[in-house]
Copies of this chain bind each other. A is one copy, B any other.
Amino acid sequence: MLKANPEKIRALVTEIFVRKDVPAEDAAVIADALLDANLTGRASHGVLRVVAYVDRLEAGGGKAHPDIRVIRESDTTAVIDGDNGLGMVAAKKACMLAREKAEKSGISCVVVKNTNHYGAAAYWTEMMSQEDMITFSCCNVAPLVAPPGGKDVALGTNPLCVYVPSASHGPMCLDIATSTVAQGKLFDYQLRHHELGVGWAVDVNGIPTTDPDKARFLTPFGAHKGYGIACMIEVMSALLAGGGFGKELNDMYEDIDKPNNLSFCFIAVKIDRFRPVDEFKRDVDRFIDYLHSIPAAEGQRIFFPGEIEIINREKAKADGLLLPEDLVEQLTGIATRLGVENVEEYFRM
């Protein structure tokens, strides 16, 4: 692992997207969202995606200059057409709009259709919240998960995220995929021929298996409960926005010449319509203290949602960002190809 300076990696990623003709402001948003995922320990949604995003821009599955438009709007709601730009650009516009509407009207819901992947959902809920709103986001993703009783995939890992500001202990932030485990984890166990956890996957006949060589499809977390949540995420993003769903979506890595065709949903709730925000945030601290007060099993510790990511971010800011050597090579290769000068400088602390 290479210990890197987050600021320099952010600058490098920005530069890469600028050289792919992405406007500087948009490139900065993409780089910041990817970096934040690395800093919080969500490396699977971090700078390792740079190559896939650049490939997509080059293959035509994503536009560097999308015409992102609000196609329907009211005081509390909006539908945005993302015009198949990179998802972060539409997500930022939608978040700002959701925040503005909730600021004025107390609660808002903004949906986006025709867009590519937005990275880690937590980045957007934090941006929307600005510590005085409770915020939600979810989106649909190309199918990877078999429904309970099914022997083929139906829905994606459709993530759900909720962000709750606190006075000093938090924020609380829940950011979960609706599959039991990530596809990357399944691949990793399969490569190592390591027995899977119970309930992680089914075989080609839809039978649950822990055999890494037989596992074929992911399962929803909590069986029918996670499946039901994934269905409702499809409704709140794609069906509300009028976007594609299920197998109408395109894979992030395989179909790079076609837009992902995803949809997003953002909801913002202004806390002071319900209670003074300071009072609410002190109660969130009190709730966190309560969760921490529950006695832990031997060798265990009780975390509140998002606590591990807060710890990760503090550690990465203090100690630097650890990047695997092959990722450093990938980024170096792409930056060099795009004519970035003195690439090695970006990897010095």
A interface, CB within 8 angstroms of B = 72, 74-77, 79, 105-109, 111, 134, 146-154, 162, 164, 172, 174, 176, 180, 198-199, 202, 205-207, 221-222, 224-229, 231-232, 234-236, 239-242, 245-247, 269, 271, 273-275, 279-280, 283-284, 287, 290-291, 294-298, 300-305
Contact = CB atoms under 8 A, between A and B. Distances in A.
B164 A290 contact: no
A303 B220 CA distance: 14
Contacts of A234: 287
Nearest to A203: B297
Contacts of A207: 297
Contacts of A149: 296-297, 300-303
A251 to B, nearest CB: 17
Given A164-B232, A180-B222, A245 B150 contact: no
A295 B298 CA distance: 44
Q: What number of copies of this chain does the assembly contain?
A: 2
B239 A107 contact: no
B76 A273 contact: yes
B246 A290 contact: yes
A283 B154 CA distance: 16
Contacts of A305: 224, 227-228, 231-232
A-B CB proximity, top 9 nearest: A206-B297, A149-B300, A222-B222, A221-B222, A174-B228, A228-B305, A76-B106, A77-B273, A162-B232
A230 to B, nearest CB: 10
Given A107-B109, A147-B302, A206-B296, 9 more contacts: A79-B274, A111-B274, A134-B235, A154-B291, A207-B297, A221-B221, A221-B225, A227-B305, A232-B305
Contacts of A246: 287, 290
B240 A275 contact: yes
A151 to B, nearest CB: 5
A183 B301 CA distance: 25
18 contacts: A77-B106, A134-B236, A147-B291, A150-B296, A150-B297, A151-B297, A152-B294, A152-B295, A153-B294, A154-B291, A172-B231, A172-B232, A174-B229, A202-B297, A221-B226, A234-B287, A239-B283, A240-B269
Q: Which has the most chain B C-beta neighbours within 10 Å: A107, A108, A205, A283? A: A107
A247 B206 CA distance: 41
